[in-house]
Amino acid sequence: MPIAVDIDVMLARRKMSVGELADRVGITPANLAVLKNGRAKAVRFATLAALCEVLECQPGDLLRWEPEDAEELEGAAELADG
């Protein structure tokens, strides 16, 4: 996934635990862990806004785009060519 999630960076800067953030945002620690570890398929804007409010940051501090690995792209092209 070319979208990287940097919640752990902001947690460290704010000296806050995952449990505390989850509690203050109003989501389960398990759901926050899914988001934090980059396994989420989507995030609601309301959740993103709550994360930004609690962490006192901007959405770009939590999410960033990374280009896909060139090897992954080559492998996909080889599979498509069959």
Burial of 76 (0-12, 13-18, 19+ CB in 10 A): exposed
Span 8-35, pLDDT tens digits: 999 999 999 999 999 999 999 999 999 9
Span 45-60, pLDDT tens digits: 999 999 999 999 999 9
Cα torsion for 13, 16, 17, 18, to the nearest 10°?
-80
Is the pTM above the cut of 0.85? no
DSSP 1-19: --EEE-HHHHHHHHT--HH
